[in-house]
Structure 1
Amino acid sequence: MTRILTTTALALSMAMPAAALDLGSMSDADRAALHQEIRNYLLENPEVIMEAVAVLEQRQQQDQVNADQELVDTHSAAIFNDDHSWVGGNPEGDITVVEFLDYRCGYCKRAYNDVKQLLEKDGNIRFVVKEFPILGEASMLASRFAIATKLEAGDDAYETLHDALMAFNGDITEPALKRLASSFGLDADAILARMDDAAVSEAIAQNHALGGVLQITGTPTFVMGDQMVRGYVPLEGMEQIVAELRKE
């Protein structure tokens, strides 16, 4: 009902001059007559409502884009250059893509191959992973293990484990993570021992705090240049966004 009233008002503003909407100067009889005229007009021209809905949605979308760009600009240092997130792709790339992800998120797993192809095909994109576990204890366990891997064994080991976790479809448990790390020749016991390090907790806390100010409520969420992309985007869509960013 609220949306109908809003779009009706918008339709009227499109169809009538501002002076005609000064209801305060009208008598009750004039106001009732105007209401009847409006009703008749809308019944005879219902397409106006649909046009108004389209205009309203377009305005709301643009307002969201503008708000997101302001958020990205305000928090750019934390988004693009923190001291704990893994950086892949081309570290000197002209476009930076940041992904907030959860290893148990189906759409993150779906986006994984698209992101990988984007980085391989383009070759000039800097990619930043933000560990953003929001889907329960298993998600938190996976992120802690991944960050601990980075701290204990370095960036290459993190990348290997990250790729494996994105492809992993079983239950995420400590024994499963230990087997996974051991399969790559990593010291799983040493990694497990670091999962509760203050640095691991701080990295996740900072990412959650940043997600809060950026109003991120789901994964995957991407920041591409100055744009925030909320949700899964196929390869073609990401390529189009990158191309548009390069034109700016």
Structure 2
Amino acid sequence: MTRQVPHARTTAFLDRSASRRQLLIGLGAAGLLLGIGSFRDRAFAQGLDPEMVLNDPGSPVGGNAKGSLSIVTFFDYNCPFCRRASTPLSEVVAADGDIRLVYKEWPILTEASKDGAVLALAAQWQGKYETAHTALMAQEGRADAAAMRSVLEATDIDIARLDADLKMHRKEIEEQLTRNLAIAEALGLQGTPAYLIGPFLVASALDKAGFEQVIKDARARAEEG
């Protein structure tokens, strides 16, 4: 996980099971589970509507748009841990078939990270957001602005239309990124990647087994009411 100094609150687990902690530790990263209640309290305190996390109309949505479980992913295209976790997350969402995946572009590492985020969001207007997202996540090494654009030019995205949509919708895109930043701050996130999986906030890069386990726990918690 790419992050700053750990926030004191992120050391608290709602789920205290040794097996869960062992799962996350076994993945080679500091796994952190926080309850959504804490997030809602902080969000309201800062004047942020928690529903905007799940239902912001500007946030791209993948998977099953009507899925019974939502996963919100916060990421940066220059974050190596985000890249590593991107493929297993996509595989789990596709195999499950009942997950709604909400993308939150959070470009915090480099100026080029924002260039990539802006281009990906502009691709929404031609229905190619996930094409752009997948291509940008497949990059290796630290990508500059030229590399971000080049990787999209190698896809079937209409670049001329992308540029036109970017020009037309630049204000909307900037506002979307500002909202994402506010949400991340309300959550107390310290870096990328981070995932809101049902009632859990996971501040860790997970592998396929890790995502599957937290998804299972999220559904079990929902059944408990």
TM-score range, shorter chain: 0.7 to 0.9
Measured after TM superposition, the shift of residue 187 of structure 1 is 2.8
Aligned partners of 1:228 and 1:66: how far apart in 2? 5
Measured after TM superposition, the shift of residue 116 of structure 1 is 1.3
Aligned counterpart in structure 2 of residue 172 of structure 1, from 138, 143, 150: 143
Closer/same/farther in 2, CA of residues 91 and 131 from structure 1, 3 Å limit: same
Identity of aligned residues (%): 32
Indicate whether 1:159 and 2:123 are aligned: no
Aligned Cα RMSD in Å? 2.4
Q: Which amino acid in structure 1 is aligned with residue 13 of structure 2?
A: Q
Measured after TM superposition, the shift of residue 124 of structure 1 is 1.1
Greater Rg over alpha carbons, structure: 1
Indicate whether 1:92 and 2:63 are aligned: no
Query: What TM-score do you get using the length of structure 1 for normalisation?
Result: 0.68
Q: Secondary structure at the match of 1:135?
A: coil
Q: Secondary structure at the match of 1:169?
A: coil
Partner residue of 2:176?
203
Q: Secondary structure at the match of 2:191?
A: coil
Q: After TM superposition, list the pairs within 5 Å mapping 1:1-248 onto structure 2.
A: 60-62=12-14, 68-72=36-40, 75-151=49-125, 153-154=126-127, 157-169=128-140, 172-195=143-166, 197-247=170-220, 248=223
Answer yes or no: is the 8 Å Cα contact 2:76–2:193 preserved in 1: yes
Q: Which amino acid in structure 2 is aligned with residue 214 of structure 1?
A: L
Partner residue of 2:7?
none
Q: Secondary structure at the match of 2:192?
A: coil
Measured after TM superposition, the shift of residue 165 of structure 1 is 0.4
Partner residue of 2:29?
none
- Residue range with higher mean Cα deviation, 187-196 or 161-170: 187-196
Closer/same/farther in 2, CA of residues 241 and 185 from structure 1, 3 Å limit: closer
Which structure has greater helix proportion?
1
Q: Secondary structure at the match of 1:118?
A: helix
Aligned partners of 2:34 and 2:140: how far apart in 1? 37
Q: Secondary structure at the match of 1:236?
A: helix
Structure 2 residue ranges without an equivalent (≥5): 1-10, 16-31
- Higher relative contact order (Cα pairs below 8 Å, separated by 6+ residues): 2
Partner residue of 2:25?
none
Aligned partners of 1:60 and 1:160: how far apart in 2? 37
Q: CA offsets per residue over residues 195-231 of structure 1, 9 Å max, x none?
A: 4610110010010011111111211100001110012
Measured after TM superposition, the shift of residue 181 of structure 1 is 2.9
